[in-house]
Amino acid sequence: MATIAENLQRIQDAKADIAAAIVQKGGSVSGLIDTYADAVRALPSGGGELTAEDMKYVSFTSASTMKLLPTIFQNADWSQKTSMASCFSGCANVQEVSVPATPNVTSFSACFANCMSLVSVTIANMDKVQITQSCFSGCRMLKDVSLPAMPLVTTLSACFSGCSALTEISLPALPKVTVMGLCFMGCTKLNKIALPDLPNAQSMVSCFTNCTSLTNVSLPELPNVTTCGAMFSNCNSLTSVTFPNLDKVQIMATTFNANRALVNVELPDLPVVTNMSGCFAGCTSLQRLVIGNIGGTITSLTNWAISVCQRLPAESLVGILNALPETPVSKVCTLGATHLNKLSAEEKAIASAKGWTLN
């Protein structure tokens, strides 16, 4: 005999299924079960079509039994819908979705979040969309995404985070995007990506954190990015990274943290960088580091973890010393004993002449 708790759970599950069924037929319900009967009565009969007005309010959130978008919705007029936020969120069994034309939608925030069985998505248009935050977050089976032009999107924060089956993706032009933080975090099978131009991007925080299969990344100009903190943290298959420019970057803390396979890094001038704490922590395979001029805004290089990169040759170390800015107040650059032993007295003097103490 079922316990009281088990029976209550059955009632709750039945309520959720009934709500999902109503929504799939084009109705809408509140959280109160006594509204469900009226919602059923309001459904069109005889296979009637859904109007654009009907579609404004349709949501499939947590429709746990749905595997495919029903035909009645595929053929409906979505032109008056203005938001797709959380529209399919939590549809744990949906496997494939083709979103019809949605010319007036401005948000796809969390649209497919935690659709754990979703494999393929096609979106017809995103001409007015501004927000795609967490759009596909937690879609751990997602392998194929077809995205249209996104001329107005401003944030891709966590857009694909946790899409652990995604191996590659092609992004359209993103002229308005300012936030790429967490965008591909946890995409553990993503092995290559070419980012489009990002002329207005400001944050790349943890953009590729835990992309453990990433071996190749092509970076565009990043003229307005201010932070690359943890951008490639724990990308332990990545072997080489080249940044075209980082003119406004202030934060590079833990940028390459735990990248055990990283062999080559090329950094441009860093005129306004203030924090490189842990930037190279765990980069034990690094053999070549090219770095442009470091700005006087840096206050210390004591904990940037270059000391663990013990395969760096003297040539790279001298390059670091040449990159140091002149400072009227004594500052410290930690290279570690192993690296210091690779340098001659004349080479060490490059740093001391600029006001830096090496340790």
Q: What are phi and psi of 147, to 5 degrees?
A: -110, 135
Q: Give the per-residue pLDDT at 202.
A: 98
Confidence at 36, pLDDT banded by 50, 70, 90: low
Task: Classify each residue of 14-50 as buried b or exposed e, where b means 16 or more C-beta atoms within 10 Å of its C-beta.
Answer: eeeebbbbbbbbbbebeeeeeebeebeeeeeeeeeeb
- Run of H or E including 6: helix 4-24
Give domain limits for the chain.
261-359
Task: Give dist(CA 345, CA 359) in Å, integer.
Answer: 13
Task: Reply yes or no on whether the pLDDT at 22 is more than 90.
Answer: no
Q: 37-41, 70-74, 310-314 — which one is most confidently predicted on average?
A: 310-314
Residue 218 has what DSSP assignment? E
Q: What is the pLDDT of residues 266-286, one digit of tens each?
A: 999 999 999 999 999 999 999
Q: What is the dihedral of CA 269, 353, 278, 162, to 10 degrees?
A: 0
Q: What is the pLDDT of residues 167-221, one digit of tens each?
A: 999 999 999 999 999 999 999 999 989 899 999 999 999 999 999 999 989 899 9
Mean pLDDT of the chain: 91
Residue 146 CB coordination number (10 Å)? 12
Confidence at 134, pLDDT banded by 50, 70, 90: very high
